[in-house]
């Protein structure tokens, strides 16, 4: 009897919570009318089943299964309300979800709401935070300096380790034995002294076992193999600015000597015409330089270029810390 009754509801197409409730009366299930009554009360109102308490579990189970099939529709799972328009449903479900949260969650959010401090108190707080930021920036700057010093010391320890092979020539002897050729002078004549020096160093910096190195792990830092004034044995040291300036001055002198020799060999060509004389004067200006400000900028460019040319990755040796 119960199964036939429930089956009759399925056949007649009742959908509780929606506007389609079948044709079971003149005032029930009209288009646009929401069914807000419960399943059992609605069925009892239609006088289709007797008021039998034994049917309540069966009808409740059937109603729940029917409601699950409507989950993809605009049906609020919090208050069992149905919406014809999705935009209204989207607006409703957000607030409905909030009001149906647990009391603990609502109390937690309410505790987070505090009264705003007075403007003077806000200003004092900003001053306090600004001081903290300044102190932290100072500490970070000091840490970066200390980290750079430790990294530099570690690289020097690796280079000077007994298991690391040493170059056969000292740095000062290596650069003093460089020779400027006609090809290097041609680059100077075509461009400037900086390009001429680069063309010369490119030949020597790509040789094997050179007494100058740099590493990607330490930016813009160059190391050379030389002997310190108070030391008998040579070792790897940091290329300081005075030593680098001596190196560049020596290269400038090499180009000057080579240019003077070239002038003697091409004297007849230089005196042949005004254009050659003007070109010779321009080349002399290139070699002699354009003032200390220009020379300082040129040295900085060359130092960066030397670092980038010889830079490589440093590798820890297996017996480094044995």
Buried b / exposed e along 75-92 (16+ C-beta atoms within 10 A)? bbeeeebbbeeeeebeeb
pTM summary value: 0.52
The β-bridge relationship of strands 235-238 and 212-215 is unpaired
- Per-residue pLDDT tens digits for 30-86: 343 344 444 444 444 444 444 455 555 555 555 555 555 444 578 888 888 889 898
Q: Token pair of 93, please?
A: 């479900």
For the chain, report the end-to-end CA distance as a whole number of angstroms: 91
* 128: its two tokens: 């306090």
By the 10 Å C-beta count (0-12 exposed, 13-18 middle, 19+ buried), 14 is classed as: buried
Mean pLDDT of the chain: 76
Tens digits of residue pLDDT in 260-315: 999 888 888 888 888 888 888 888 888 887 677 778 888 899 999 999 999 988 76
Query: Which tokens sit at 168?
Result: 């056969």
214: part of which helix (H) or strand (E)?
strand 212-215
Q: Could you give the strand order of the β-sheet that contains 311-312, starting from the edge strand earlier in sequence? A: 235-238, 218-226, 212-215, 311-312
Domain boundaries, the chain: 2-110, 115-159, 164-312
Instruction: Count other Cβ atoms within 10 Å, centred on residue 222.
Output: 20
Q: How far is CA 97 from the centre of its chain?
A: 38
> Can you tell me which residue has the tokens 């001596």?
246
């Amino acid at each position: 009897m119960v199964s036939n009754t429930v089956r009759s509801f399925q056949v007649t197409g009742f959908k509780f919570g929606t506007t389609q409730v079948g044709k079971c009366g003149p005032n029930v299930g009209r288009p646009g009318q929401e069914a807000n009554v419960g399943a059992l009360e609605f069925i009892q109102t239609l006088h289709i089943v007797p008021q039998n308490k034994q049917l309540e579990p069966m009808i409740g189970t059937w109603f729940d299964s029917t409601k699950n099939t409507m989950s993809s529709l605009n049906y609020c799972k919090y208050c069992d309300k149905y919406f014809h328009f999705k935009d209204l449903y989207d607006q409703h479900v957000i607030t409905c979800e909030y009001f149906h949260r647990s009391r603990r969650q609502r109390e937690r959010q309410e505790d987070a709401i505090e009264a705003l401090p007075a403007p003077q108190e806000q200003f004092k707080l900003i001053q306090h935070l600004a001081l903290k930021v300044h102190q932290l920036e100072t500490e970070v700057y000091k840490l970066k300096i200390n980290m750079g010093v430790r990294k530099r010391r570690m690289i020097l320890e690796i280079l000077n380790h007994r298991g690391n092979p040493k170059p056969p020539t000292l740095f000062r002897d290596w650069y003093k034995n460089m020779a400027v050729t006609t090809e290097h002078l041609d680059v100077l004549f075509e461009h400037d002294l900086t390009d001429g020096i680069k063309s010369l160093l490119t030949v020597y910096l790509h040789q094997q076992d050179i007494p100058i190195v740099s590493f990607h792990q330490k930016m813009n830092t160059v190391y050379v193999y030389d002997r310190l004034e108070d030391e008998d044995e040579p070792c790897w040291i940091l290329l300081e600015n005075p030593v680098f300036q001596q190196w560049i001055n020596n290269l400038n002198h090499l180009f000057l000597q080579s240019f003077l020799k070239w002038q003697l060999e091409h004297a007849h060509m230089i005196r042949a015409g005004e254009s050659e004389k003007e070109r010779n004067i321009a080349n002399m200006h290139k070699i002699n330089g354009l003032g200390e400000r220009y020379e300082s900028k040129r040295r900085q460019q060359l130092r960066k270029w030397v670092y980038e040319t010889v830079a490589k990755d440093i590798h820890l040796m297996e017996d480094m810390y044995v």
